[in-house]
Every structure is written in structure tokens, then in C-alpha cells.
Structure 1
Amino acid sequence: MDPVILFFLLGLAAGLLRSELRLPGAVYDLVSMLLLLAIGMKGGVELARQSLAELLPQTLAVMTMGLLLPAIAYPVLRYAGRFKRADAASIAAHYGSVSVATYAVAAAWFASRDIAFEAHMPLLLAVLEIPAILVGIVLARGLSRDIRLDAVVHEVFLGKGIVLLIGGLLIGWASGPEGIMPLAPLFFDLFKGILALFLLEMGLITAAHFGSLRRHGAFLVLFGVGMPLFASLVGTVFGVVLGFSVGGTAMLATLAASASYIAVPAAMRISVPEANPTLSLAAALGVTFPFNVLAGIPLYHALATKVHVFAGG
């Protein structure tokens, strides 16, 4: 097992055992910022070698996937799970968006096994945050004048996560491979160490949401595993159709299978304040994140490999 996963398990065990272990808030913020910037800069360096015009069709296709997934999740939550409209829409938005932490773990897992994937994945990671938020708001509110578009647009496009990710992309793209080298020791060489500290705190946060899962029954557990498995199939199909490599297809499947717990909760808090955030975070952090980290990522890679062999045959 990858050592960074063991850090997550350490945090999870410490949280469940009610240990006093905590990562100071300032340290957690710094680690999160370094992680987002490192992902963005690495993608930006690779983007400098490519034509942005060639990436536009793939970007639009992936955004379409981001619109599709919450639209599928919503009726399942609304009618099978019998959630209120606002709660169903909020949970669906979380599962149509993406988890930067899951991407970071997948990138580390792929790198340790020399599995290459498309360099512009950080760009797709960034754009996938947006469509699900918009769909979630429309599902909860309808197309009404009550929607605070200015606040939503500010939260979606100027939230800390998006600014750091896009900012890192632009810095890496503008600097190029040679220009970024002086920063490599901090952002690239120490990436797995930064990720390990981040996952330690994520384990503690995950443990804190287990109580919500006990209170809200088995449905969120089933949905928290079933939706990622279904979404990974959708992501795999999109990856194959778009001509991605096996690694790229597996990474897109991983992005589709992940669930947001940063950008979407902030946007839902502004636009759908009546939705219960505990439900969304309990499913996303209590079930889906640990499932993806412990079992999902290798499963999605195996799926992508099988589908590519089938498609090639």
C-alpha cells in the first residue's frame, strides 16, 4: 500500500479513537494551497507544449459530463432516497463535481507505477468544478430570479481552490519547463510529503462525519459507493471516445467518480442555504473519498485497461 494512503488511515484511526491529534488550521491551509498550486503548475508546464485550440473539444466534452452526472444522481436521491428537493440537489451537485484530493492521490498512485496520463488533466479538473454547481442550483431553485447569480459566480470562479488551481496552471504555462525549475524542489519534489500531511487531516475529517452516516441510514452508504462506480463507467466511456490513453481514461474515470467537498459546499451554502450540508459531506467524505482512495483508483485503472483492450479488439 502506498505510504500516503497509510497517512490517511492513521488520521482515520486517530479520529475514530478520539485522539487529540489535529493539524493546526494554518498548517492545513498552507498544505492545501501548496497541493493545489503544485497540481496546477505541473499541468501548466505540460500545457506549454500543447496547442490550447486542440484541447477545446475535449474540455467541452468533459464539461458535458459534468452536467450529465448530477442530472442522473438527482432523481435517484429524490425518489429512491426520498430526500427533500434541496438536499437531493445539493448531494447531486457534490457528486457531479470533483475532488482535488482524490486526483492528487490518483496522480501519486499512477506515478509510482509509471502510468502516464494526459498532461492537461489539471485543466479538466478545474473546469469540472463548475457545471455541477450550476446544475445543482437549477435543480434546487428552478430558473427563478431568487438565484444570487453575482454571489454564485464569485464563489465558483473566485473561490480559493479554483483561483489557486487556475493560477498554478497559468504560472506553469507562462514559465515553461525551464522557468519553473527553481520552484521544483518545493512544489514537485516534496509533492508526496505535502499530500501525506493533507491526507492525515482528511482522515481526521472523515472520522468526524461517520456519526452522520449512522444517523441517516444505509442509503447514503449505498449511494456513496454505487454512484462513483456508475460515474466511473461514464468517465471511462468519455475517455475512450475522446481518444485518451489508458492512464488518461482511468484518471477521467477517477475524476467522474470523485465528489467535491470544498467548492460545492461553499456554493450551495450561498445559493441553497436550506440544504443540510451534513448529508452531502457525510456521503462525500465519510464514504466516497475513503472508497476511492482505498479501492476505487486501482479499480478504475483496471476498468480502463479492460475497455481499451476491448475497444482495440
Structure 2
Amino acid sequence: MNLNLLIDNITNPALLFFILGILAVKLKSDLAIPDSSSKFISLYLLFAIGFKGGQELAHSDFNFQVSGAIIFGILLSAIVPLYVFFLVKKRLGTENAGAVAAAYGSISAVTFVTAVSYLEILDISFGGHMVATMAFMEAPAIIVGMFLIKQYSVESTTVKTKQVLHHALTNSSVLLILGSLVIGFLASEEHARGIEPFTTDIFKGFLAVFLLDMGIQSGRKLSDFFKTGFSNLYLAIGLPFVNGTLTALISSFFIDSLGDRFLLSILAASASYIAVPAAMRVVAPKSNPGIYLPMALAITFPINISLGFPIYMYILKLVASTS
């Protein structure tokens, strides 16, 4: 693996702030980001990446590469929950298995935003349609997870399909990212330049502060998570590498852009810790968030941004050099 690439990723300020957050918890520091500030920053990140993606999409041709990436992403989001569910159902039970399956089939918008920042550091371009791909990948996994729970649960659930569909399609992250994408697509270049300092110049600073908060939250959940045993730990480490590596290999057959293939790999490797937990409160109230939430946030998220990024990039470049 390219040593310089690994060093660049390890010394990324965003990652270092994430590690600082974990250390703050371990040192029992009172360092904390106010909830209101954390929510604002998360909304800002989704707005900025959506708006910039819309601007990029406005200058992109809708061709096989674009439609192929979007369709492939949606299929991934629907297929991954199926194999994950049956992989863990016997050990975790139906509702917990459905929640874990939905989490790993869905995506992490924060991981995607961090991956975009990583590509910018490497000066690798990507298509604006990847923002739409990310948004479209969030809902299918939640829907599949819901149907699996309803199908295999001993106790029939009274949750209406319409209720879950509405939640999956209108939760704040999906609505904001899609709305910002459309606005960015419709906005003229002159209007876009008017808010560029807000959407571009301060983006990395806000990302660093947000990841500091994510580090604090992850650190708080680690101790409780390890009480559930090491099986979930191995799963939280293995699933992203399996999903990310397979996507990196398969996507090379129909997508030319290195940046697009990298983002698809990251989306496949990531796990949702915002939209899915909120949905599972409705769909599977008996599921244990102490299992799937730390798996996604405290293990898979840091694994992806520390080791996953350089590994998937190495695989993609290796595939490109041998093709």
C-alpha cells in the first residue's frame, strides 16, 4: 500500500479530531459539543454537500455511468440487508437482526462527507450524481429491514407499511440532502458563487468539529458495546470490508471514474447510525440499540475513515492498473 497515502489519511485533521474525542472520553474530560450545535453542524454538512452535488450534477451528462451508479447503489441498499439479516438472525433474534441488517444496508452521510473531503485532499474528482446516489441508498435498506422483521417475527407487528415508508423517505437527512441537491441543480452559477464561502470555505472546519463530537459519542458507547461480547465486534469490522471490497471490484466493470467507484465503495461499507435507529424505534421497538448503534458508530465508522479509505483506494487503483 502507498505509504504516503496512508500517512495523508492518518494525519487528516478530521480523523485526528475524531481520535481526540475518543481520548477525551477515556480521560474523563468534560469536553462536549452542545446538542444544538451538533445538530446544526450535521444539517450544515448535509446542506453543503447536497448543494455542491447539485451544482456538479447540473454540469454532468445523464448517461449510462450516472444511471448505472444510482441503480447499483439502490440495489446494494436492498441486497446487503438480506444477507446480513440471515447471517445474524439465529444469534441476535429477529428484531435485532433486522435492525443490524438495515443499518449496514443503509449509509452514513457523515462517512460520505468525510470521503468527499478525502478525495479533495487527493485531488480526485467525482460526479455530482453521487450525492443523489447516497440519498437514494438510505431508504431501501430500512424498508427491507422492516419487511424482514414483519415476515420472521413471532409477534406480528402493528406498524403500518405506509408509516415506515413515509419515515424512510422524509427523515431529515434524506429530505435535506435531496432538497439541497435540487436547489443546487437549479441555482445559477452567479447565485452559487454568492454563498460559496459558506458551502465551501468553512466546510472542512465544520467537518473537523463534527467528527470531534462523533469521537466523543463513540467513546461513550464503546464500554457498553464490549459487554455484548466479541462476535458483534468482529461483525462490525468484517462487514464494511466485505461490502466495500466487493463494491470496489464489481463497480470497475461499468464505472470509469475513480472518484465515483471510491464513493460507491464507501457507501457500501458504511452503516447508518442516524436514520436507521430513528426508524427502528417505530418498526422494531424491542430491538436493542445498544447492539446496532455502537456497531455502526463506534466501530464501523472509525474503521472506515482510518483504514477503509486507503484500502479501498488501493484496491481501486490496483484494479485500474491491471485492467
Question: TM-score, normalised on structure 2?
Answer: 0.91
8 Å CA contact 1:48–1:176 kept in 2: the answer is: no
- Structure 1 residue 119: Cα displacement: 2.4
Residue 191 (structure 2) aligns with: 179
Structure 1 position 154 matched with structure 2 position 180: no
Are 1:77 and 2:67 matched, yes or no?
A: no
Q: Indicate how the Cα distance of structure 1 residues 47 and 176 shifts in structure 2: closer, same or farther if over 3 A, else same.
A: farther
Query: Are residue 118 (structure 1) and residue 130 (structure 2) matched?
Result: no
Deviations 1:42-89 (A, max 9, x none): 10001111345753343222211111111111122124xx11111011
Deviates further, 48-57 or 208-217: 48-57
Q: Secondary structure at 1:216's aligned position in 2?
A: coil
Name the counterpart of 1:8: 18
**CA separation of 1:244 and 1:148: change in aligned 2, threshold 3 A:** farther
Contact 2:53 2:184 in 1 (8 A): yes
- Could you tell me which amino acid in structure 1 is paired with residue 224 of structure 2? S
- Which of 91, 98, 110 matches 2:107? 98
Contact conserved, 2:50 with 2:180, CA < 8 A, in 1?
yes
Q: Supply the AA of the counterpart residue of 2:310.
A: P
Aligned length: 309
Residue 134 of structure 1 aligns with an amino acid whose one-letter code is I
Residue in structure 2 matched with residue 88 of structure 1 by the alignment: 97
Partner of 2:7: none
Aligned match of 2:277 in 262, 265, 271?
Answer: 265
Shift in Å at residue 233 of structure 1?
A: 2.0
Local SS of the residue matching 1:242: coil
Whole-angstrom distance in 2 between the partners of 1:147 and 1:203? 34
1:42 aligns with 2:52: yes
Structure 2 residue ranges without an equivalent (≥5): 1-10
Alpha-carbon offset, residue 115 of structure 1:
1.6
Residue type of the alignment partner of 2:100: I
Say if 1:244 and 1:138 are closer, same or farther in 2 by CA, change over 3 A: farther
Instruction: Give runs of aligned pairs for residues 56-67 of structure 1, distance below 5 A.
Output: 56-67=67-78
- Mapped partners of 2:157, 2:222: distance in 1: 37
What SS is found at the alignment partner of 2:252?
helix
Distance in structure 2 (CA, Å) of the matches to 1:208 and 1:218: 18
Check whether the contact 1:78–1:85 (CA below 8 A) recurs between aligned residues.
yes
Cα distance between partner residues in 1 of 2:190 and 2:244: 36
Deviation at 1:206, TM superposition (A): 0.3
Tell me, yes or no, if structure 1 residue 17 matches structure 2 residue 21: no
Q: Secondary structure at the match of 2:307?
A: helix
Please report the RMSD computed on the Cα atoms of aligned residues, expressed in angstroms.
1.6
- Secondary structure, counterpart of 1:142 in structure 2: helix
Deviation at 1:33, TM superposition (A): 0.8
Distance 1:270 1:238 in 2: 35
- The alignment partner of 1:259 has SS state of coil
Gaps of 5+ in 1: none
Identity of aligned residues (%): 33
Once the two structures are TM-superposed, the CA of residue 269 in structure 1 deviates from its matched residue by 1.1
What SS class does the counterpart of residue 92 from structure 2 fall into?
A: coil
The one-letter code of the counterpart of 1:29 is: K
Distance 1:145 1:223 in 2: 27
In the alignment, what sits opposite 1:298? 310
Q: Which moved more, 1:283-292 or 1:235-244?
A: 235-244
Is contact 1:212–1:279 with CA below 8 Å preserved after alignment? no
1:225 is displaced (CA, Å) by 0.9
